[in-house]
Structures are given as C-alpha cells and as structure tokens.
Structure 1
Amino acid sequence: MKFNIHILTACCTGLLFASCHKDATISISQPVITPSKPITTDTLSGSIQGTMLAGRTYYFEKDITINQGDTVTMESGVKLIALGDGSQQKSPQITVNGSFISLGTKSAPNYITVAEPQRSTDNAFKGIWGGIQCTPVKDDAAGGDLILKWTHIEYAGGPSAVKNGVYGAGDPRYLIYFANMDKNFILEDCWITGSKDDAIRVDGGKISILRNTFELCGEKGGEAFNIKSGTVGDVAYNVVTGAATNGFKVANTGSKTIQTNVNVYNNTMINCGFRQTKENRGGGVNYEALAKGKVFNNLFINCRISLRIVSTADLENITYGHNLYYGNAPTLLNQFNATDGQTAFQATDIHGGIKQNNPLFYGYDVDQFDYTTLGGTVKAPAVTWKQQPLPLLIQGTSNFRIKSASPATGKGFTNFAPLNTTTATGDLAASVMKPGADLGAYQTDGSGNQH
C-alpha cells in the first residue's frame, strides 16, 4: 500500500513530547490519506488491484483474481458481495496470488458475504460462493499475505468447477485456503460463519489467529481451523461454537520442510464435534502427525471430545495443562481426554463429574441441551445439524464472558511466550496477546475476545 502522507515532522514532535512528559496530552489532527489506486466501479471481475473505498459496496459474480505482486486493500465499512447460487457454474471465488488485506474496525467492520436474503441459517452449509483461495503461483516462496481484521467472512464453500492442486471437480471449497509458506496469514477479530467443509485450511505459512468467532463450520464434517505442515504461529482468544469436527486440528501432514508448530491457548470451544461420523473424531483440539506446540488455558465446554493428542504427534514437544473441562453427560466426561489419545489430566487442569465446574458464563446456559438424550456409552453418537438447537451452533446474543466467581478465573498459565511469527508491520501487524490470567477467550479485565 502506498499512501501520500506529509506529517513526518508532526509525528516526530508528538513522540518527543510524549517521551518527555508521560502525563502530557498531545492532540494531533488525523492526516488525510489518499488510497492507492482507488477501485471506483462497484462490479468486479477478472484481475483486480487497488483499494476498495470505505463504506462502499462491491459485487462479483465471476471469479476475481489478485495477481502475484499486486495488492487489494479493503478500507473499513466495505461490503464485498458474492453473487452465487452454490452450483459449480456459479460459485465465484477470490483467487489470491498476491496480497489481500481487509482493514475493518470494531465500529465499521467489513463483510465478504452473499446478498442479504441469502444470509440465513438455512443457507449456512450450502456453499453459495467459492471462498478466498490463496495459493502460490510457482513455488512456496511466491504469493503474498492474507490479512483480515474485523471482517465477516460468510456462507462460502461452493463446489470447485475444475480439478486443481487443492480440490477435485465438484469438491466443496474451504471458506479460506492459505498455502503461502513464507508469507503471513493474520486473522484478527473476525467472524467466520457457514462453511460446507473446513472453514479454514492452512498448508504452510506464518499465522496469527486471534480473537475470532467461528460459527456453523462444517455440515457433516470439517474443522473450524485445519492446520497442515509448514505452519507456525499462534491460535488464541477465539470462540468456536458448534464445529462439525474439531475447533482446531493441528497436523504436520503434507510435504513442507518446516515442522508444524502452533500454540493453541486461551480459546473457548463449545458444543464441538457432534456432526462427524468417523470414529474417534470430533471435538475441541486435536494434534496428530508430528505436529508440536502448546495447549494451555482453554475452555472445553460440552464437546464430544475435548482434547485429542494421538501417538503420531510430536509428543516430546507438546505441552498442555491449565485447561477447564465441562460436560453434562457421561459420554462427554469419558472423552475429556480422547480414549484413543495419549493425554491425561494434568494437576493444573480443572475437571470433575457431570455438571461440575460450570464456567459461569454471563449470558449462556451450558445446560440448555441435555446431552444424555443423545445416548451412547463411551462417546455420544453423531447427529445432523438440524438435530442441534441453533443456540448450540452460533453465538447470537450469548455472552461467553466469565463471571468473577468462575472456576476459570485466575487459573491461567502465563509463563510462556507466543511464537509471534508474523512479520507484517504498522497497521497490518498482528496484535498478538500473551497468555491470559483467566482461562478462555475472554478475560475478566475486559481484554481478549471483543465479540
């Protein structure tokens, strides 16, 4: 991005005063920023580059492509509407061979979605458009960054029209696919809603996935976030509710030379894993296939399986603990640690019997659905999404902040550092948070997830 800014002297002066007197209040008028190559047409097609202007609405009904070396930036308050119907012939995608940047804000978030009449729960798993597909053109060093902040990405996963290196013809696409080994994938304060299969899959790259909300991810299977070989970074302060399989799956599957190393900490996972029919699958966090990392300070609430770390993972380089487990049925308690996994409760974990250690959310009843009604002995059986009440699958008006009396308050492990691998700077940089003193995505001091 290139901006015409002529405030260097003012900025330096402001910094000087701020360093001399910490109590001084400096008022500097905001500069007028001229966007690079403003995109003024409201209908996009073919190769695009430049800046989508704040507050504008744009449309695309055919694939749009960001070429290698080019950048497309969305200013705040932008809506990008895919005009699709979920068929192979009309499920347009955003192909990113360069860099794609969405800079929504808390007060003016961005939307990459479908037409308003299509934004319904009934369409959550229809895959109306093709998603954001970020792939290198020639090799792992090619491609660019994907940086999304305060952005809604919704209702994607339409079938691929042709066979390529990622999908077979007719396969559902991921809402986001990223495979740029040496580049940055930063997802902060975003909403990921409605995916046919995996919502997000990463095949290598530097990642920072913080303070997001994942809802309605996967119709019959699929993870909220599926991490493959060559991926290094942090996944923290996210909420995942009602994922088909796992909230976060971490594996070194693939051909990348860099080992997958991901820290998963301070996340809240609720009602995950119940739509996966494959045996021993489905739950909160899953490490396998030589992946390594840290798993601390998470809330596993009524997940079909909570923590699964199997023998194929890099067990010598995985550490975990300080997690809270809650279940209102025997089958959920049986799978706090997956029966086919290698984990055991740590002394720092919080767990107990049926309905013990309620996390005391401000605005969510963890017992609104009685999982004993599903039956099962060792593990609860799979169900379809239509058999799950909607409040189990979306955040809606629920408030997942914990009360001060929660058993999760003050139980966090803070004696480790985030990997903090991404290299973007300035407004594009990741806002990486250290491990929290409280368990889960929300901190009692008001920090953490802001949704």
Structure 2
Amino acid sequence: MKAKCLMLVAALAGAVLTTGCENDNINPYDYTGKTTTDKTTPSEDVITTTLAQYPKGSIVWTHDTTLTESVEVPEGASLYIEPGVTVTCKSGVQVPVEIVVLGNLYCMGTAAKPVTFTSDTKKPADWGGIICGYKSEEVVLSHVDIAYGGATPTESSLSFQNQLFKTTIDGGVPAFHFCNVNGKFVISDSFFHDNYNDHTYFTGGNGIIARNTFADNGNAADGGEAINVKSGCKLDVADNLIYNACTNAFKISNSGNSETIPLTDMTAYNNTMVDCGWRRSKNKKGGSIWVEKAARPTLVNNLVYDCRYGLKQPKKDGADTEHSRLTPNYYYASTADGVKQMAKDASLGMWFDTDFHSAAPGDGDPLFTNFVQNPKMNINCEIDDAEQGAPLPFSKAWNFALLTASPALTGGVVDFQRMFPSGLAFFGMKKVTFLAPADDQNYYFTAPEPTTRFGAEL
C-alpha cells in the first residue's frame, strides 16, 4: 500500500464537502457538490470527499446516478468513481448511452462495495459501453460490475463521432474497449455479464486481466467473444472464469490495426472456460479459443469444459506456431459430440499430445465444487434457449473451484515469463490521498503467478 502523509489527514477531514446520503442521485458532472452547466470542464480545485482527496482537474462521482445521455471524459482529464457507486444507464433513448473516455478512468470498487454499471430495465443492449480513446492513458476497472451493454451506436453517438471502435454503423459495441497502444488498463476482480456483444475488445494497450468472471454474452445474429484481442497489445490474462460466451472465450488475432502497430504478445494462463460457443456449428468457427492472423500467445494451463470445440485456427492465416506456446491445456467433454469436436481429427482443431483430452464422455471430469450443467445440454444448439440445450443462466451460487480429488490439479507448467512480472503502475491512482488508511487502495496491479493447476484459482 502506498504511503500517506498522515499529518494532512486532520486538515483534509475538516475540508470535507457535504454531498448528501450515499443513494442520492447526482449530476454526473457534479464534481464538488456544485452543479456546473459546462459538461467538458473538470474541476479547477483540489476535490475532497468523505473518502479521499483528488488532484486538480479531476471529475469525481461519489453517489449513484442515472445517465439519460452519453458522458465524455475529456482528453487529459480523469474520472474517478468511488466504491459502491451505481451508474444506471437509461434504455430506450434515441442515442444509446455510452461512456466515452478520451482521458482516464479509475473505477475504485472494493469487494464489499463494487462500482456498478447497469441499466434501468436490465436487458442486454440497453446501453452501449465504456469506449476509450486513442489517447486514453490509464483505465482501472477494479471490483466493477458491468452488465446489459452492447447497443448499436448511431451517427450521433460519441463513440462514432470520435471515430472509436466503429467507423460504420454495423452492429453493437463491446462493454469495454481499449485502443491506445501506449496506454495501460487493468480489469481486476470484476464481473461482466449479460452484454449483447463482446464483453471486451482490445486494439492496443498494455493490460492485466485477472480474477474476473465473464458470463452470458453474445447473440445468435452477431456472436460475441468474452475477450477479443487484436494487434498492438501486451497482456497478462490469468485466473478468469468465462462462462457461456456465445462464440469464443478468447479470440486472438494480429489483425485490426495499421501495419505499423506492433504485433500482440500475451500470456493467457490458468483460466477456466465453461459452455462456450453454442452459436457456431454452421460455420465451424470458434467454440472456446480461436487464434488467427499470426497470433503468437503463450496459452497454457487453461481448463476448457464442455465448450463446442477446443483450440482452433482458420485453414489459412492461423497462429504463428513457431513463436507461440499453446500447450499444455485441459479439454474436458461430457458428451459424445464434445469428445468428437475436440478430437485429433476435428476440423480446424489444433492438437497437442501434451494436452489432456477426454477420450470418452465424462472422462477426466475436473470436479468443480458446485456447478449445475443443463441436463438437456446440446453444444450445437445454435440458439440461446436452455430448453433446446443452451447453457443455463449463470448463477453466483456456483463454485468452479476444483475438489481435492480433481485430476486437473496437476500437470500445468510454470516455466514461462509473464508480460509484466513486476506489474503495472497507474499513477492517477497514486495521486489519490485516502483520508483513512483502511480505505487506501494500491496503485500497482500484478497478474497472479502461474501454478501447475489447470484453470482459475476460484
């Protein structure tokens, strides 16, 4: 934890501004308890709340708020969202609500008080997402709940006007998009669920994605990945649970950017993927992990459970296997179709003898502590309907930790280097002075060290 100048605590406490009770709605541009009509000018003063002191030029959200229109964080400015704040995005508006971050964003949730982005009707595609700009330097999503995003923008949408993510209107946006090759982001201890398209989409950036749950995303028409990575990224991705991604848990490609953008390097290890890929039986694309166009990840110690396929690539322009490490991983299937579609001769499949594959339905069950599979499960159902075999809706009562008798507790590897073994520092967080040491939050984030267990530490 970072050091404090304790001599300032008493003085700062005396400067706290009255902002009302925690559940009061606020204007999202109300930085210091006084509403401004200029929506693009951050505070010129140091901001002190009941929790912390923030630097000049900050935007601080301290209370719940409902957005009826999109919000833009200006270039060079920083938006801080305090623990426990819920941001409700109004659905059914003419231009879907988006949060466009041209500057920096720090969602400072805690396990007890997460920051929540939701909608009023709690249906997928009620709002857009958090879309970051090409000069966005730092984004922290720590203990954040993001749901019901993925709406299709219009030509009046802030993301479209800033030429972010989409330059043509041809579908929805992801719940979170980052694109600055030189920027930094972290997604840690968060819960993404019920988003209409991709949960996350990256076209550049240095990032850590660790200890998150990604559940129930995508749609039959457009698909949806949990983690979609293009070129220009350096990523550590570990200890994540991915459940019911419509197309893939991971899609990894070195396309999507200018040829001047560096190729992506990433380590994806000790992740658990369950029931992914129900949409893709017709075109055979994806199902759990899809690598293409010179992707060169380190992809090891992952547990793939009852997904439509195992590791796959296109017939042409697939992974750069010479510079990749794609084994060992653990592929389990409880059905005959699952065994067949993860077999050595599966179309477009990538097979390694050093992986574990179920030789028969139920062979090598990794033994989750508490998980209820759909008894009608059909991994080729193509429709998001549990009665026809699609995955059941995600339940927080489930526990994907492995029992002590699990055969997946050993066999992984640790002889590889993470992208950021010393972690990533977010200096906008360092500038925050918390008034009470018990509320302090670190500004350094590090992906967990790999273990010989397959799957996530849950």
TM-score for the superposition, normalised by structure 1: 0.81
Q: Structure 1 residue 359: deviation in Å?
A: 1.0
Q: In the aligned structure 2, how far is the partner of 1:214 from the partner of 1:114?
A: 18
* 1:339 match: 346
1:166-315 counterparts in 2 under 5 A? 166-167=165-166, 168-169=168-169, 171-220=171-220, 221-256=223-258, 257-276=261-280, 279-310=283-314, 311-315=317-321
Aligned to 1:408, the other structure's residue is in SS state helix
Q: Structure 1 residue 302: deviation in Å?
A: 0.6
1:284-433 counterparts in 2 under 5 A? 284-310=288-314, 311-336=317-342, 339-341=346-348, 343-366=350-373, 368-371=374-377, 374=378, 380-385=380-385, 387=387, 392-420=392-420, 422-424=424-426, 427-433=442-448
Q: In the aligned structure 2, how far is the partner of 1:133 from the partner of 1:39?
A: 28
* 2:27 match: 43
Correspondent of 1:146 among 133, 136, 139: 139
Q: Deviations over 1:234-285 (max 9, x none)?
A: 1111111111100011100123421011111111111100023651223221
Q: Which moved more, 1:325-334 or 1:235-244?
A: 325-334
* 1:79 match: 86
Q: In the aligned structure 1, how far is the partner of 2:73 from the partner of 2:207?
A: 20
Q: Structure 1 residue 400: deviation in Å?
A: 0.6
Q: In the aligned structure 1, how far is the partner of 2:18 from the partner of 2:255?
A: 40
Look up the equivalent residue of 2:137 and give its one-letter code.
G
Q: Structure 1 residue 339: deviation in Å?
A: 3.0
Q: In the aligned structure 2, how far is the partner of 1:31 from the partner of 1:150?
A: 30
* 2:453 match: 438
Contact kept in structure 2, 1:84 and 1:114, CA below 8 Å: yes
Q: Structure 1 residue 419: deviation in Å?
A: 0.9
1:86-101 counterparts in 2 under 5 A? 89-101=94-106
Q: In the aligned structure 2, how far is the partner of 1:247 from the partner of 1:42?
A: 37
Q: Structure 1 residue 51: deviation in Å?
A: 4.9
Q: Structure 1 residue 178: deviation in Å?
A: 1.1
Aligned to 2:180, the other structure's residue is in SS state coil
Contact kept in structure 2, 1:93 and 1:133, CA below 8 Å: yes
Residues 60 and 356 (structure 1), Cα distance of their counterparts in 2 relative to 1, 3 Å cut: same
Q: Deviations over 1:340-396 (max 9, x none)?
A: 436213325353211111111111144x4344xx4xxxx835223455668634143
Q: Which moved more, 1:420-429 or 1:38-47?
A: 38-47
Aligned to 1:334, the other structure's residue is in SS state helix
* 2:5 match: 6
Look up the equivalent residue of 1:6 and give its one-letter code.
C
Residues 303 and 431 (structure 1), Cα distance of their counterparts in 2 relative to 1, 3 Å cut: same
Contact kept in structure 1, 2:275 and 2:391, CA below 8 Å: no
- Does the alignment pair 1:135 with 2:133? yes
Contact kept in structure 1, 2:230 and 2:257, CA below 8 Å: no
Q: Structure 1 residue 32: deviation in Å?
A: 6.5
Q: In the aligned structure 2, how far is the partner of 1:345 from the partner of 1:417?
A: 21
CA RMSD of aligned residues (A): 3.0
Q: Which runs of 5+ in 2 are unaligned?
A: 30-38, 43-57, 431-441
Q: In the aligned structure 2, how far is the partner of 1:52 from the partner of 1:388?
A: 46
Aligned to 1:159, the other structure's residue is in SS state coil
The size of the alignment, in residue pairs, is 400
1:94-133 counterparts in 2 under 5 A? 94-115=99-120, 118-119=121-122, 123=123, 125=124, 127-133=125-131
Q: In the aligned structure 2, how far is the partner of 1:336 from the partner of 1:240?
A: 18
Residues 316 and 43 (structure 1), Cα distance of their counterparts in 2 relative to 1, 3 Å cut: same
Contact kept in structure 2, 1:81 and 1:113, CA below 8 Å: yes
Contact kept in structure 2, 1:250 and 1:286, CA below 8 Å: yes
Q: Which has the higher contact order (CA 8 A, sep 6+)?
A: 2
Q: Structure 1 residue 417: deviation in Å?
A: 2.2
Residues 389 and 58 (structure 1), Cα distance of their counterparts in 2 relative to 1, 3 Å cut: farther
- Does the alignment pair 1:61 with 2:68? yes
Q: In the aligned structure 2, how far is the partner of 1:30 from the partner of 1:437?
A: 48
Aligned to 1:286, the other structure's residue is in SS state strand
Residues 33 and 394 (structure 1), Cα distance of their counterparts in 2 relative to 1, 3 Å cut: farther
Contact kept in structure 2, 1:271 and 1:392, CA below 8 Å: no
Contact kept in structure 1, 2:90 and 2:127, CA below 8 Å: yes
Aligned to 1:195, the other structure's residue is in SS state coil
Q: Structure 1 residue 330: deviation in Å?
A: 2.1
Q: In the aligned structure 1, how far is the partner of 2:202 from the partner of 2:15?
A: 30
Q: Which runs of 5+ in 1 are unaligned?
A: 10-28, 137-141, 443-448
Q: In the aligned structure 2, how far is the partner of 1:423 from the partner of 1:434?
A: 17
Q: Structure 1 residue 312: deviation in Å?
A: 2.1
Q: In the aligned structure 2, how far is the partner of 1:72 from the partner of 1:36?
A: 19
Aligned to 1:133, the other structure's residue is in SS state strand
TM-score for the superposition, normalised by structure 2: 0.80
Q: Deviations over 1:97-116 (max 9, x none)?
A: 0001101111111101113x
